[in-house]
Structure 1
Amino acid sequence: MEIFVFLFSLTALGVLYTMNNVPELQEPYVILQVGAGVLVFVFLVYLLMAWRNPPKDLLFFAFAVFSFTCVIDLVSALQHDGWITGFMEFYQKAGEPYLGTAYGIMMCYWDGIVHFILYLFMICRITERKDYRIMGLFWAGSLLANMSIFVTGIVVGKQGSDIRPAFWLNMPFLLVPVWGAISVFTSAKSKQLTGGYNAMFVQCMRLIWRPQDLMLVLLALAAMAFTIFRGLVALDAPLEACTIYLKQYEPYLKDPVGYPRVMMLHFLFYGVPLLGALVYGLVEPGCNWMPDLSVFFAGAMAQCQFAHMGGSLHSRTMAPYRIPGDAFLVVMAANLVYVAIPQIIAMRCTENPNFFLTVSSFPGQTGLPYSKEKDTLITNKIKSS
């Protein structure tokens, strides 16, 4: 099935080429109607294909339809960067001109490559009746962060006064990841949630005796501080440190397109609490929500930082807002470490989840070694002696 989805998605090239060469299809409201009609048609094609053997997971249809649009996004990015021509001129003028911004181009690259690969893999897993939880959570975090920043940035940025009807084609891509995240978070886990002796042993150890987790906690706290600082910069805080950072390190945060500022506010109001939750989960044993949350957050941060770093370096960004040459290495290193922290935490939580499992007691035991209460077995033994 994934091979058919891949091949059928390539037919988006024909749709784009036709619309680009038929003037009657290039009016703003016509673009909206044709775009909505194409999405419905693609959905019906996959619905008819799966009629006899319907997938158990309805997200299959969302992944299949979105695979089609991934090709459109990749073509958009390639044409804006001058690699190809003849497909998207009509959409650049009468569709969504803000896709030509540095952030819009980098966003389309991420969607056209990373999301497309994820869709094909998840479709394969659904077809084979296998679990795709980690990929699904990473995708949901990535697309939800992507679209929430993109849609908000359109409205508050300099393009906000020139919104065309095709803007409303973004709504399904904003709402579906919410449904996808809820669906994946609430689905039954294929891995165990209850641990035995190994989990009990790990959870007995305080943070100081877990150097890997201690280092991750310190890195997460540093990421929280960096997030708060850049949020203050985006909010025009009059602090001298904020002014220096904005002028000498990341002037891109004040790019009038609006996306960098919106992203920093997303990080400030959503990223900081999520990082705080990850710190809590690394300190307090038995937080079985940690693996899922860490993967979801890793997906969001990966997409955001890719678009942010790429946008700050892209030629479409005006020269005064690009990273200054003498601060390039420092800024890039800070951003790379910043995006790596959630990825490392997610890998730690998924590859060795013993610390996050709910520990079941042994027969005859009413207390647990990491509990604040004394072990009742030892207490009873002392009393009997």
Structure 2
Amino acid sequence: MRPPAEVSVFLLSLLAPCVLYTMNNIPALQEPLPILGMGMVVLGSVLLLLLLTVRHKKNLDPLFYVFAEFSFTCMVGLTNALEQDGFISGFMAFYVKSGEPHLSTAYAVMMSYWEGIIHFILFLTIIHRMFKGKSYHSLGLLWVGSSIAHQIVLIPGVVIGKFGSNIRPAFWRNVPFFLVPFWAASVLFSRPREMPIITADKIAAEQKKGLLTRPVDLLLSLLLLGAMVFSVFRGFVVLDCPLDACFTYIYQYEPYLKDPVSFPRVMMLMYLFYALPLMTAFIYGLKTPGCSWMLDWTIFFAGAMVQAQWCHIGASLHSRTPFTYRVPTDKWWPVITLNVLLAAVPPLLALRCYTNPAYFMKPVPKGQTSNEKKKK
């Protein structure tokens, strides 16, 4: 009797610390090029083992291989986080020294915890649902949002930050990990979402309500506006705006924004140029009935923002961030409160869309249900 797929993936992922420990104790494998080569060999071997594990399955979703392979790297990330925080030793020293030195930063440690715990649980849950024939659409979108947000901060941050002059060959293994989530996102966005059965009358009644008569949507719109203002302000701060308010904020409230690792600077620019237009679109979607794209994009956005804010908040308080760049003790509450609110708004918006989607569904003729229209 074969074990469930998620159990096989879990057990295979547990090999990651063993591989790291072995490499950490073989001097010949601790040079930059051998590290990259061994990394590719290990990932290729994991893929081969996965193919052998599911060879009896027909018409297997290709995203399974993505989720299973990334599960292995999640354990690498968790091992790194635990070693950098002093809970274990003897696993990652060689890789941090000769592979990716930026993995010792506070941002990378918080990112590694997120991957090793949240992403890993997501992958196992998705694989379980996949083999049970259940939908994993929303969970998949949460992951691609989180993964893309991580990569578009990590790669530019390394290149333009203080580690840019010390990039080793192993850094380029991030390229496929950057491209694959975009491919997975295109696959998931192109697949139809499973919708609840809602009558045309209920959809019409919901869509006749104005924003002022929907207090939850009104509150979410106001929170999005506040998040937009905060994002614009911090974008100006990292762009060295000469206004006194910007100068005061970066020196007295969030000095982490000027940390030379550059991850916080890139993240604020990501908010300014990517999150801001999306939040503007969401306000439009809350005001205009029939914007069915809200159902997927709010989940994607929630995954991205929660991951980004987890890394940002954690790194701004972490002991690996130099003391002068950490949030000052007397400004802890206002800064953390604002950052937690920024992290909370997207999931609340996604939850609202997911639990009561009638306002965002396309209108259907009277007497039909949303599912009947879809079948025609």
User: Shorter chain as normaliser: what TM range?
Assistant: over 0.9
- Name the counterpart of 1:369: none
SS of the equivalent of 2:175 reads: helix
| CA drift at 1:195 | 5.1
1:344 aligns with 2:348: yes
| 1:106-255 mapped onto 2 (5 Å cutoff) | 106-192=110-196, 196-255=200-259
Q: 1:72 aligns with which of 71, 76, 92?
A: 76
3-state secondary structure, aligned to 1:315: coil
Distance 1:281 1:221 in 2: 13
* Shift in Å, 1:55: 4.9
CA–CA distance in structure 2, aligned partners of residues 350 and 206 of structure 1: 20
SS for the counterpart of 1:359 is: coil
Q: Which one of 248, 259, 263 corresponds to residue 259 of structure 1?
A: 263
Separation (CA, whole Å) in 2 of partners of 1:156 and 1:204: 50
**Candidates 42, 46, 52, aligned match of 1:48:** 52
C-alpha contact (below 8 Å) 2:10/2:124 kept by paired residues:
yes
Q: Is the 8 A contact 1:125 1:132 kept in 2?
A: yes
Q: Distance in 2 between matches of 1:131 and 1:288?
A: 18
Deviation at 1:125, TM superposition (A): 1.2
| 2:372 corresponds to | none
State the aligned residue count. 364
Q: Secondary structure of 2:162's partner?
A: coil
* Residues 110 and 363 (structure 1), Cα distance of their counterparts in 2 relative to 1, 3 Å cut: closer
Q: Measure how far apart 1:359 and its partner are.
A: 1.2
Counterpart check, 1:30 vs 2:34: yes
Please tell me whether residue 305 in structure 1 is matched to residue 305 in structure 2: no
Per the normalisation by structure 1, the TM-score is 0.93
C-alpha displacement at 1:54, in angstroms? Answer: 3.6
What amino acid does structure 2 have at the position aligned with 1:67?
S
Distance 2:162 2:201 in 1: 58
Matches of 2:94 and 2:249 in 1, distance apart?
A: 40
Which among 273, 284, 292 is matched to residue 280 of structure 1?
Answer: 284
- Structure-2 separation of matches of 1:179 and 1:117: 21
Note the residue ranges of structure 2 that are not aligned, 5 or more in a row: 369-376
- In structure 1, how many angstroms separate the alpha carbons of the residues matched to 2:329 and 2:195? 48
Asked if 2 retains the 8 angstrom alpha-carbon contact of 1:134 and 1:292, the reply is yes
The superposition leaves residues 30-57 of structure 1 with CA deviations (integer Å, 9 ceiling, x where unpaired) of 0000001111110111112222214531
CA–CA distance in 2 between the matches of 1:225 and 1:9? 42
Using a 3 Å threshold, how does the CA distance of structure 1 residues 157 and 193 change in structure 2: closer, same or farther? farther
1:11 alignment counterpart: 15
How far, CA to CA, are the matches of 1:293 and 1:92 in structure 2?
A: 36
* SS of structure 1 residue aligned to 2:327: coil
Counterpart of 1:51 in 2: which secondary structure? coil
Distance 2:153 2:237 in 1: 18
Q: Say if 2:78 and 2:116, in contact at 8 Å, map to a contact too.
A: yes
Give the alignment partner of residue 363 of structure 2, picking from 330, 347, 359: 359
Q: Distance in 2 between matches of 1:349 and 1:362?
A: 23
Whether the aligned pair in 2 keeps the contact of 1:193 and 1:358 (CA below 8 Å) is no
The superposition leaves residues 284-316 of structure 1 with CA deviations (integer Å, 9 ceiling, x where unpaired) of: 000001010000000000000000000000111
Deviation at 1:126, TM superposition (A): 1.1
The reply to whether residue 60 of structure 1 matches residue 64 of structure 2 is yes
Report how far residue 213 of structure 1 moved.
Answer: 0.5
Q: Of residues 280, 289, 294 in structure 2, which corresponds to 1:290?
A: 294
Find the residue that maps to 2:209 and give its secondary structure: coil
The residue type equivalent to 1:235 in the other structure is: L
Is there any run of 5+ residues in structure 1 with no aligned partner, and where? 365-385
Work out whether residues 142 and 303 of structure 1, in 8 Å CA contact, stay in contact via their aligned partners in 2.
yes
Is the Cα–Cα contact under 8 Å of residues 199 and 367 in structure 2 kept in the other structure? no
Contact kept, 8 Å, 1:194 with 1:359, in 2: the verdict is no
| Rounded Cα–Cα distance in structure 2 between residues aligned with 1:211 and 1:128 | 39
Shift of 1:192: 4.7
Q: 1:75·1:87 contact (CA, 8 Å) conserved in 2? A: yes
Distance 1:363 1:14 in 2: 61
Measured in 1, the distance between the counterparts of 2:45 and 2:14 equals 15
> TM-score, normalized by length of structure 2?
0.95
> What residue identity is the alignment partner of 1:28?
P
What is aligned with 1:89? 93
- Structure 2 counterpart of 1:382: none
**Counterpart in 2 of 1:328?**
332
Would the aligned equivalents of 1:193 and 1:288 in 2 still touch at CA under 8 Å? no
**What secondary structure is seen at the aligned counterpart in 1 of 2:87?**
coil
Secondary structure of 1:52 counterpart: coil
Shift of 1:208: 0.8
Distance 2:198 2:272 in 1: 34
Q: 2: distance between equivalents of 1:234 and 1:240? A: 13
Q: Deviations over 1:128-176 (max 9, x none)?
A: 1211011000000000000110011000100000000100111121111
Q: Describe the SS at the equivalent of 1:358.
A: coil
